[in-house]
Amino acid sequence: MHHDNGIWVSTEDLMREDSFLQSAEKELSLENVDQNGDRWETNRRDFLKLLGFGLGAATIAASCEIPVKKAIPYVTKPDDIVPGVANYFASTIVNGGDYCAVLVKTREGRPIKIEGNTLSSVTKGGTSARAQASVLSLYDNRRIQHAGTVKDGAVTKKEWNVLDREVRAKLASGGNVRVITNTIISPTAKKALAEFTAKYPGARVVTYDPVSNAAMLAANEQCFSARVIPNFRFEQADVIASFGADFLGTWISPVEYARGYAENRRFRGAKGAKMSRHYQVESHMSLTGSNADNRILIKPSEQGAAIIALYNELSGNSGGPKLGDAKAAAAIKKMAQDLMNAKGKSLVVSGSNNVMEQIYVNKINDLLGNINTTVDFNGVSYQRQGDEREMMRLVDEMNAGQVAVAIVWGANPAYELPNAARFAEAFGKVGMRISFSGVLDETTALCTHAAPANHALESWGDAEPKSGHFSLIQPTIAPLFATRQAEHTLLEWAESPNLNRSAEQPYYEYLKSNWETDLFGRQTKYATKQAFWDMSLHDGVLEMPESGLNAVMNEVSLNPDSVTKPSGSELEIAFYETVNIGGGQYAHNPWLQEMPDPVTRTVWGNYLNIPVEWDGVNHINGWKGLNDGDNVEVEINGKKMTCTVVRTFGLAPGTVAIALGGGRTSGGCGAGYGVNINDWLPVTGGMVQYHAAGVSVSGKVGVDKHFACVQYHHTMGVQASGDEEGKVINADEKTLGWKGFQGALTDRSVIFHAHVDELEKFAEEMEEFHEESAHLNVQTLYPDQSDYFGTGMKWGMHVDMNACVGCGACQVACVSENNVPMVGKGEVHRHHEMTWLRIDRYFYGDFENPKVVYQPMMCQHCDNAPCENVCPVAATNHSMEGINQMAYNRCIGTRYCANNCPYKVRRFNWLDYTTADTWPANEERVLHAEGDDMPFYADNLVRMVLNPDVTIRSRGVIEKCSFCIQRIQEGKLTAKRENREIMDNDIRTACQTACPTGAIVFGNLNNPDSEVSKMTKQAGAVAYKVLEEINVRPAVNYSAKITNSNEELYS
Amino acid sequence: MLLKRICWVFTLLFAASQFVLAAPTVEEGKALFVANCASCHNKNMKDNLTGPALGGVEDRWADYPRQDLYSWIRNSQALVASGHPRATELWSKWKPVLMNNFPGLTDDQIESLLLYINAAAAPPPPPPPGTPEASETAGGETPWMFIGLTVILGLLAFALMRIINNLSNITRVQAGQAPLQKTLVQTLTSKGAIAFMVFAVTLIFGYKTVDNATKMGREQGYEPDQPIAFSHKLHAGTNKIDCQYCHDSARRSKHSSIPGTNTCMNCHSAVKKGSKTGTSEITKIYASIGFDPLQNKYIPDYENWSDKQIEDLYKKWIGQEYMSENSLTAMDDNGRQTVENQWEGVVKALKNDLNGKIQGPIEWTRVHNLPDHVYFNHSQHVAVGEIACQKCHGPVEEMEVVYQYSTLGMGWCINCHRETEVQFADNPYYDQYERYHNELKSGKRDKVTVEDIGGLECQKCHY
């Protein structure tokens, strides 16, 4: 249960290697800055130069007149804008099938932050990292600023009416027209498309998804006569088995699923605790797999065999391909037993893109009695509709010169398709190629015309992610550039009589009238059309939940020979989607690029995950002796590419894995990071497969100089062999050379975990631990401050590590709320990432198939804060509300505080990342978008995303989590102004509101009725403070990780 | 030897300065006033409140011994009972309002109070515009005392030095040695003297540097030209328009923003000419928003009007008003010049580098500029703290052109947070400060200031 009982963050940590300890030691030293050799040296002459310059500059600055500032009021002030007060608008973030109901926070008319919309029963107020980051894409200076013709990677401006005429003429001249899209979940957009295809008889819509679920749709069509995704009810499942479906991270509707999943796993007190059991059958560690109670490791090509094994076990059949690994086969038998025991309350899902495998999964759910319980057909999901087979056919059509006009809307086939090169060639034979893309991506570069669409935050629209769940999209800012709503463009070209061209916002009228015709009659909540529209727009969602629909599974012939056969290949590769950049659609968003992958903890690119090997005695080696950051050549099907490796726990033997989405070549700042592996994706039966066999990996061919993995950064509680006798002590202490001086503290308590069946015993052990810690802290130099902190409010947080799935939404929300700068890959390599909130990932258990704990780690706001004592200028100090305050303008940058912080949550602005300094320096080192002269944050457009209530920190100061002090101040003020006591809802931190599972709760610890007090009380002894024994008295409580693993699985 | 002497001199100086610091000061008076008097006596010292206005109190008591005034402040009823003429006069006027007794006030404290009352009753004129100088010259008489004391002590030290020199020479002579006679040059170039000089110079320059550095960026008295000669004296003073009628966001937002042109139009669609400026200033509002004063209506599609169209319209308006004012039937030369001048003014006020058009917002010059790293919220102070605007912005209702009244320095903020009482009893928000409520009840505490609820903490303002 304890740190000493085997918790580790990496192989180096596990083996207590010197390199790791050194990197931890050097975290804050200048040496670390210099380790690449591209150092900046200072000698005496430089010093004198700088001194002279400094004096001169100071003199000039002092004699300068204070600049005259202007105050420009409105001419006619809008009624609903009060300068300085934020407005929130309900809207929806949609990108292909990704859906999130949101509230958009705007200040003085510009959107700056995304919050979840609690009125939506799909997302229930949760958000994803992608939705959080969407606001940054709005202010992307790489956006196409006007319509025009595309040539040589540039758009030459053309007025919209000129373009319209040209396109209409071409469309009218006959020939086939193809509209290429990703999944569209907007009913009104579909209507516009229908008008377009009705106008031009040769027109057809071709839909595919960047990461395909076509097989599942095809299987459901056969089994249930409906080409939809059922409504998976994770909250009702007691046993969940997932065959490679990453439903907590990327699969179909992760925000919704994570919320449901966590409902059944949240810690609600030790007594009589119950939780669901989750099996993950997979070949590499996905986000979902890392949360599973049991992982069954199989090779990527064995998924079909594994599904058949489960089916055979449940149905008593035999036949079909067999699993190579007897251990895995035995485990699946036991899993089958568990599933049977939870009949009607279990759920089996699969991420496979093989139709027969998906049919088997449906059959398994049928056998388990899950159809119409956990696999519900009320409120089916429309979030995946694509079929890449149609796309393949289109490529043939284009190649044969049968397509006159191709319109690309929201898709990027020239990058996303497995046969992109063939697509590009065929696409070139189309006479007129038009892109609606907002950026000059790979496909747009191949087009003849660009008709850039508005960003989602500038658009009107709607969405129906699930049957009966409608959502409205409303613009929160006028279009920044001369772009036009894509639906408007289509209707314009279709010469639609329903588009009121003289209206100020034609598509708004179109949308409104569509809702009034189609939806007003279906609902009973509102009596008048006006109320219906106003309230739907206000709420952002309109829900008409379906009920009573029962599906019966059709008789489908099962053919075990149609599933993927185990390849028998020595080395296989798995391709997976990451939570941050998806299939590459989100690659141009720095907030997402710099959000570490939850499992590998790498940023800015995709890396080849290689297994680690346990030599059975006392050493763990990287596969083939490779190290993190080594470059290797990978060859699949004769296609060779150079990848950078990262050693990863939890890969099946003989398996490597790599994420999709790297190697973008144009369209924004993500270009040039990682490798484009879409070319490697095999296509079987028309369907893209996300694994391949026959992989050969070379030895080390080089090193990625800027390999960026935050795994080893800001570590704490790391242990080392302390002295000659090999006694285990703290790494921090080793650096001090104390040789175990503080002997009682070597056994540091960062992570606690227990099995749900042993919870009561665990609670007792924890009780002992708390007593022991309290005993250690009896003698203290600190004065008793209970009176001081007991007056008024005392802020604190509770983190339920059982509800936390590690998705990273909180991290991006924090970046967005607090103006945390992005630093770029090279700077992350140098341990300079600035994120205030990190999600630590710890392993424990079996070395070859470990379990994972995610721990969101932010400033703990210690009452006895070690950072405060060492600051020579008192720039960091304590408030009576228990907040560890950081006054940036007082900080002189000694970094003593960061050094003394036991949690390593303080960040130092090594460079002028935000270009906030009056005297810019080192600008060439901070984040630049590819090919830009200007640093990323120097651009005025990008700076529009900054939160005006939070200071932009300049170079040379420390910063860290403030518990969203600006929100605390705002919440307090609201309560004061309204003459009432403060309530929980007045203040919710950015991480709290972003969390899809409600794992983070913030509030007033002095109020016994606050949610945070209740949560902590409910958790009882199972709640603990990280490093409780060192008497720093943090304000953040964590409740231990509880698992419900099947301990007999491998016995 | 010399070092010892220097030490002596400094010790003496230090002791003297301690003595000087204990003298009555305006600051002390202000603190006392806020703590003891402000609940009944108006802070502006001009208007009566529960008690009479205190401005000029010394003059009114000038006919009587100073001690009488002290007694009156400490226990007014006792003085009334003793039949003191001034006391009786006051009592007959203010009966039955009783003044609280303040037996604990010392004479010095009362002097401080009186100093403050005089200072507050006749506020020093603002420093001349454009010179960002600190106004904190409170206690203007103390420098003279310092100088006097320093001179006396210097003489004393010199005399002592002479005596010591003579005495040591006497000893030398007695011991049969020749007496030491240092020339002035020798004395001044001695090690000790040079060390002292260096020390003094460093001290003075250091002080000056720090003192000036803290003033950098402070703009007290800043009074920039504005595009429109808007008179707060007329609007807020004479016409008594509430501050928050125009600056309405002050109670809702962190900003107290400048009103939009449409707010001006609430009145100026009817009030078309200024009492002093005639058409010259109000035409600027019309040209900004597009109001046709001739026909009393807003101009449709004003956005797309050309400069020439706008010029023609407003020149016609100015000319028409000029003629009717002067009862002319035809335009004269003077009138043409007036129209030309006024129109030039309009263009200058509305057209600039940012906005190349006449239409559009009026670009005011911002008077109060807080540093970037300070968060200040108007609604906290105006709506919750119920602080009068004038407390920070000064007598705006008397300002023809607005200037920065306060320093806006951190010390100024902090002092106010130290002194200002929180509206503790009236707002349920403060119920959670249980300890303070208990202490108030038990009498252990007599007030809760902003400081007590964390008003001096860094992240109240810096985040």
From the list A804, A797, A810, A807, the residue with the least C-alpha distance to A963 is A797
Tell me the pLDDT of chain B (463 aa) as tens digits: 444 555 454 444 444 444 444 577 788 888 788 777 776 777 778 777 667 888 888 888 888 888 888 888 888 878 887 888 888 888 888 776 677 777 778 888 888 888 888 888 776 555 444 444 444 444 445 678 889 999 999 999 989 988 988 888 888 888 888 877 777 888 788 888 899 999 999 999 999 888 888 777 778 888 899 999 999 999 998 889 999 999 989 989 999 989 999 999 988 988 888 888 888 899 999 999 999 998 988 999 898 999 999 999 999 999 988 888 888 888 888 889 999 999 999 999 998 877 788 898 999 999 998 877 899 999 999 999 889 999 999 999 999 999 999 988 888 999 999 999 998 888 899 988 988 999 999 999 888 999 999 999 999 999 8
- Is A676 within a domain? yes
A83 touches B at CB < 8 Å: yes
B361 → closest Cβ in A74, A82, A1004: A74
Q: What is the pLDDT of residues A458-487, one digit of tens each?
A: 999 999 999 999 999 999 999 999 999 999
State whether B259 and A73 contact (CB < 8 Å): yes
Q: Judge whether A149 and A600 are in contact, CB under 8 Å.
A: no
Domain identity same for A952 and A895:
yes
CB-based contact, B28 to chain A, within 8 Å: no
* Alpha-carbon distance B195 to nearest alpha carbon in chain A (angstroms): 27
Per-window interface: B 219-278 vs A, CB < 8 A: 219, 224, 249, 252-255, 257-263
For the range A152-155, what are the long-range contacts, defined as Cβ-Cβ under 8 Å and sequence gap of 24 or more?
A153/A440, A153/A445, A153/A666, A154/A440, A155/A440, A155/A450
One-letter amino acid for residue A120 of the chain: S
Cβ contact (<8 Å) for B429 and A979? yes
State whether B262 and A74 contact (CB < 8 Å): yes
Q: Answer whether B366 touches A (CB < 8 Å).
A: yes
Query: What chain A residue is nearest to B457 in terms of C-alpha separation?
Result: A879
Chain A residues close to B444, C-beta within 8 Å: none
What's A916's domain CATH number? Answer: 3.30.70.20
* Confidence band of A402 (pLDDT split at 50, 70, 90): very high
Domain-terminating residue out of B79, B99, B121 = B121
For A986-1003, letters b (16+ CB in 10 Å) and e give: bbbbbbbbbbbbbbbbbb
**Residue B94 domain-assigned?**
yes
| CB contacts < 8 A (A, B) | 154
A358-382 pLDDT, tens digit per residue, is 999 999 999 999 999 999 999 999 9
Cβ-nearest to A973 among B260, B354, B377: B377
Same domain? A744 vs A661 = no
> Considering CB atoms only, which of A83, A949, A981 is closest to B431?
A981
pLDDT at A62: 60
Q: Which residues in chain B touch residue A83, judged by CB atoms under 8 angstroms apart?
A: 249, 253, 255, 257
Per-residue pLDDT averaged across A1-15, rounded?
61
Q: Beta strand pairing status for A795-800 and A1036-1039? A: parallel
Pair A914, A821 in one domain: yes
Which of A422, A365, A381 lies closest to A183, judged by CA?
Answer: A381
Nearest alpha-carbon partner for A490 in A95, A144, A198, A174: A198
Domain limits for position A707 = 567-712
Place of tokens 């699923």: A257
**Is A82 in contact with B252 (Cβ distance < 8 A)?**
yes
ipTM for this model: 0.84
- Considering B121, B149, B169, which residue would you say is the last residue of a domain? B121
Q: Does B364 touch chain A (CB under 8 A)?
A: yes
Place of tokens 């998906």: A358
B103 falls within a domain: yes
Task: Name the closest residue on chain A to residue B291, using Cα atoms.
Answer: A75
Please give the structure tokens belonging to residue A283.
Answer: 């070949």
Residue where one domain finishes, among candidates A697, A723, A748:
A748
Q: Does A740 lie in the same domain as A673?
A: no
Specify the DSSP class assigned to residue B425: T
Q: Are B429 and A74 inside 8 Å of each other by CB?
A: no
Same domain, A744 and A656: no
Domain co-membership, A574 together with A721: no
Overall size of chain A counted in residues? 1051
For residues A329-335, average pLDDT: 92
**Bridge partners, residue A1001, by sequence:** A798
Instruction: From residue B363, give the alpha-carbon distance in Å to each of A68, A430, A510.
Output: 12, 53, 39
The helix or strand, by DSSP H or E, that contains position A885, with its residue range, turns out to be: strand A884-886
Question: Taking residues A742-757, what's their average pLDDT?
Answer: 69
* Assigned domain for B54 exists: yes
Q: Do A1009 and A1031 share a structural domain?
A: yes
Please name the residues in contact with A514: beta carbons below 8 A apart, sequence gap of 6 or more.
Answer: A187, A188, A191
Asked if B453 lies within 8 A of A77 by C-beta distance, the reply is: no
Give the per-residue pLDDT at B69. Answer: 85
Domain with A249 in it: what CATH number? Answer: 3.40.228.10
Domain-located, residue B436: yes
Residue B428 lies in a domain: yes
How close B360 gets to chain A, by Cα (Å)?
A: 6
Contacts of A879 in chain B (CB under 8 A): 454, 457-459
Query: Looking at residue B135, what is its pLDDT?
Result: 40
Pick the residue of B247, B359, B458 with the most A CBs within 10 A to test the interface with A by mutation: B458
Q: Tell me, what amino acid is at B329? A: T
In this prediction, residue A31 carries a pLDDT of 47
Nearest-CB residue to A76 (from B254, B261, B363): B261
pLDDT at B415: 93
How many domains would you assign to chain B?
2
- Residue A873 contacts B where some CB pair is shorter than 8 Å: no
Residue at B349 is within a domain: no
Chain B residue nearest residue A793, CA to CA:
B432
Rounded Cα distance between A299 and A570, Å, is 10
> Does residue B412 belong to the interface with chain A, where contact is any CB pair within 8 Å?
no
Lowest mean per-residue pLDDT among A14-28, A312-326, A942-956: A14-28
User: Do residues A299 and A323 both lie within one domain?
Assistant: yes
- Check A791 against B262: CB less than 8 A apart: no
Characterise A642 by phi-psi region: left (phi > 0), alpha (psi -120 to 50), beta (else).
Answer: beta
Comparing C-alpha atoms, which of A240, A309, A327 is closest to residue A279?
A240
Among residues A809, A770, A742, A690, the alpha carbon closest in space to that of A1016 is found at: A770
Separation of alpha carbons B24 and B352, rounded Å: 53
- Asked which of A353, A381, A409 is the last residue of a domain, the reply is A381
CB A836 within 8 A of CB A961: yes
Measure CB to CB from residue B364 to each of A71, A790, A972 and give the nearest one: A71
Dist CA B148 CA B17 (whole Å): 12
Chain A residues inside the 8 Å CB shell of B427: 976, 979
Report the residue of chain B nearest A74, measured CA to CA. Answer: B260
Write down the pLDDT at residue B139. Answer: 44
Q: Where would I find the H helices in A175-298?
A: 187-199, 214-224, 254-263, 287-291
For A4, A723, A740, A773, the CA distances from A744, given in Å and listed in that order, are 13, 16, 9, 10
- The per-residue pLDDT for range A509-542, each reduced to its tens digit, is 999 999 999 999 898 889 999 999 999 999 999 9
Closest Cα in chain A, distance from residue B259 (Å): 6
Domain count, chain A: 4
Nearest CA in chain A to B223: A68
* Closest residue to B458, CB basis, from A877, A881, A969: A877
Closest CA to A258 of A240, A281, A283: A240
Q: Do B364 and A70 touch (CB under 8 A)?
A: yes
Using CB atoms, which residue from B255, B259, B454 is nearest to A879?
B454
Task: Mark yes or no for CB contact A72/B361 under 8 Å.
Answer: yes
Q: Are A807 and A839 in the same domain?
A: yes
pLDDT at res. B145: 86
Could you tell me which chain A residue has the CA closest to the CA of B454?
Answer: A880
**Residue A374: how many CA atoms within 13 Å on its side-chain side?**
28
Cis peptide before B96 (omega within 30 of 0): yes
- pLDDT of res. B1: 45
Say yes or no: A889 contacts chain B, CB-CB below 8 A: yes
Two tokens at A1044?
């419900």
Q: Which residues contact A396 (CB under 8 A, 6 or more apart)?
A: A426
Tell me: pLDDT of A63 over 70: no
Q: Do A976 and B429 touch (CB under 8 A)?
A: yes
Taken in order A38, A39, A45, A46, the sign of the CA dihedral is: positive
Please state, in angstroms and rounded to a whole number, the distance separating the CA atoms of residues B261 and B239: 19
Q: How far is residue A51's CA from residue A57's CA, in Å, rounded to a whole number?
A: 10
* Residue at which a domain ends, from B55, B90, B121: B121
Q: Is B393 in contact with B243 (CB distance < 8 Å)?
A: no
HSE of A944 in the Cβ direction (CA atoms, 13 Å)?
17
Residues 63-122 in B contacting A (C-alpha not used; CB under 8 Å): none
Tell me which chain B residue has its CA closest to the CA of residue A981: B429
Q: For residues A628 and A606, give the distance between their C-alpha atoms in angstroms, rounded to a whole number.
A: 13
Q: Which of A59, A65, A68, A76 to mutate to test the interface with B (most CBs of B within 10 A)?
A: A76
User: How close B355 comes to chain A (CA, Å)?
Assistant: 11
B386 lies within 8 A of chain A by CB:
no
Nearest CA in chain A to B432: A792
Q: Is residue A247 part of a domain?
A: yes
- CA B206, CA B204: separation in Å to the nearest integer? 5
Are A851 and A1045 within 8 A, CB to CB? yes
Indicate whether A391 belongs to any domain: no
- A534 located within any domain: no
For residue A853, pLDDT over 80 is answered with: yes
Domain end point (choices A358, A381, A404): A381
Residues A881 and A808 in one domain: yes
The mean pLDDT of A332-347, rounded to a whole number, is: 92
Taking CA atoms, A443 is separated from A203, A414, A440, A448, in Å, by 20, 5, 8, 10
Given CB atoms, is B131 within the 8 Å cutoff of chain A?
A: no
A1009 part of a folded domain:
yes
Q: Label the pairing between strands A403-409 and A176-181.
A: parallel
Tokens read off for A914: 């935000």
Query: Which two tokens mark A378?
Result: 């009320």
Distance CA B279, CA B314 (A): 10
Is residue B37 in some structural domain?
yes
Put simply, whether the predicted model's pTM sits higher than 0.90 gets the answer no
Query: Are A873 and A997 contained in the same domain?
Result: yes
Show which of residues 942-1001 on chain A sit within 8 Å of chain B, judged by CB atoms.
949-951, 962, 965-966, 969, 972-973, 975-977, 979-982
Is A792 within 8 Å of B462 when comparing Cβ atoms?
Answer: no
pLDDT band at A591 (very low <50, low <70, confident <90, very high): very high
Domain holding B40, by residue range, is 26-121
**Residue A167 domain flag:** no
Domain harbouring B84, CATH code:
1.10.760.10
Whether residue B233 contacts residue B400, with contact meaning beta carbons closer than 8 Å, is answered with yes
Pair (A726, A767) in one structural domain? no
Of A5, A4, A8, nearest to A853 by C-alpha is A8
